[in-house]
Amino acid sequence: MPKVGFVYDPIYLEHDTGPHVENARRLEAIMSRLEQSGLKQELTAIKARPATLEELSLVHDRQHIAGVQETAKKGGGWLDADTMMSQASYEAALYAAGGAIEAAAAVVKGEVDSAFALVRPPGHHATPHRAMGFCLFNNAAIAARYALTRLGLERVLIIDFDVHHGNGTQDAFYDDPSVLYVSTHEYPFYPGSGGIEETGRGAGEGTTLNIPLPAGCGDAEYLQAFEEIIVPATRRYRPQLVLVSAGYDPHWADDLALMQLSVTGFARMVTIIKGLTGELCRGRLALVLEGGYNLDALADSVKATFDVLLGKGEIEDPLGPSPRAGQPGIAPLLRQVARVHGLA
């Protein structure tokens, strides 16, 4: 059986957001599902640690880092209309970034076959210069930059299947060919970025690949996007490590957006990603938790993700398929993406 690692620390619960939709109950639901199912016993614990200032600075400027720290010292507060902090949020965010680093490092060093960093606050909206969209520091971006600068890698792929575009991750690597950033997201939707024409700049031209999907897309559309765009783009890029910004808010039961994915759909996407890593980069795969706000859908989807990583054939989907799947046609959109990126 594959050796699958997970990162979790109770400090993530201390990022106290009160009644905010991104709250500690998300991780509590995930850990409860893993424990009740017996799956946690099959996983290898990877110890989280706080990221250092130097590691945060691989992506974020010092002014932004200091601003988050200062807000925590003052007891917390709102950083923008969506993003709030408590007194413990800065430390929790350090451990979230450090947890993502440790997951990636364990995979690259061969200590585990794959890993999932179950962290919060999430990260993919945090730009080099500001916190936004529930995110303080960009955990996946920091892990990617760490792998490139400290672990000797030259090419990292980040696949982001959160329902929202990871504008912060895109910004961090927009002119950097050492990271291929690929995002499937509902469009137009928060934060408003992620159009097909956003493909990178300078040396990074072509290494930002956005698949802006219309509302209502479900399993069939996501799998079509993977098979027609993400698979050939990944094979062409030949990454040495694949990181996944794993957001489960495209699930049909999640009220924060309008996508129609099922637990089975997430499992199939992860199966494709796992197959690509086995083919191209010795199975090096690390996932970092982003969104997902329906507690049952989130917990079931994370469990299904671990089942795939563990090589289990049968996927449990207690919530079943979407009762509203409208199957919007996306063939013209995918043809346009393929043409822009030379995949046609």
- pLDDT over 90 (residue 3): yes
Is the pLDDT score of 182 beyond 70?
A: yes
Mean per-residue pLDDT for 3-8?
98
Q: How far apart are CA 96 and CA 91, in angstroms?
A: 9
Q: Bin 216: left if φ > 0, else alpha if -120 < ψ < 50, else beta.
A: left
Indicate whether this model's pTM tops 0.95. Answer: yes
Q: Distance between CA atoms of 219 and 261, rounded to whole angstroms?
A: 5
Distances (CA, A) of 3 to 43, 108, 114, 189, 206: 7, 13, 7, 37, 34
Give the separation between CA 259 and CA 278, rounded to whole angstroms. 29
Q: In this predicted structure, what is the pLDDT of residue 325?
A: 66
The reported pLDDT for the residue numbered 141 is 99
Average of per-residue pLDDT across 6-10: 98
**pLDDT at residue 191 tops 80:** yes
Q: Report the C-alpha dihedral over residues 169, 253, 218, 229, rounded to 10 degrees.
A: 10
Q: Is-contact 145 59, C-beta < 8 A?
A: yes
What rounded mean pLDDT belongs to the chain? Answer: 97
9-50 residue pLDDT tens: 999 999 999 999 999 999 999 999 999 999 999 999 999 999
* pLDDT tens digits, 208-243: 999 999 999 999 999 999 999 999 999 999 999 999
Whether the per-residue pLDDT at 327 is higher than 90: the answer is: no
Residue ranges covered by each domain of the chain = 4-340
pLDDT in tens, 161-177: 999 999 999 999 999 99
Predicted confidence at residue 324, as pLDDT, reads: 87
Question: What pLDDT is attached to residue 344?
Answer: 79
In DSSP terms, 159 is beta-bridged to 182, 244
pLDDT(307) > 70: yes
Q: Which residues are catalytic?
A: 125
Per-residue HEC secondary structure of the chain comes to: CCCEEEECCHHHHHCCCCCCCCCCHHHHHHHHHHHHCCHHHHCEEECCCCCCHHHHCCCCCHHHHHHHHHHHHCCEEECCCCCEEECCHHHHHHHHHHHHHHHHHHHHCCCCCEEEECCCCCCCCCCCCCCECCECCCHHHHHHHHHHHHCCCCCEEEEECCCCCCHHHHHHHCCCCCEEEEEEEECCCCCCCCCCCCCCCHHHCCCEEEEEECCCCEHHHHHHHHHHHHHHHHHHHCCCEEEEEECCCCECCCCCCCCEECHHHHHHHHHHHHHHHHHHCCCCEEEEECCCCCHHHHHHHHHHHHHHHCCCCCCCCCCCCCCCCCCCCCHHHHHHHHHHCCCC
CATH class of the domain whose range is 4-340: alpha beta
Reported as a single tens digit per residue, the pLDDT across 69-120 is 999 999 999 999 999 999 999 999 999 999 999 999 999 999 999 999 999 9
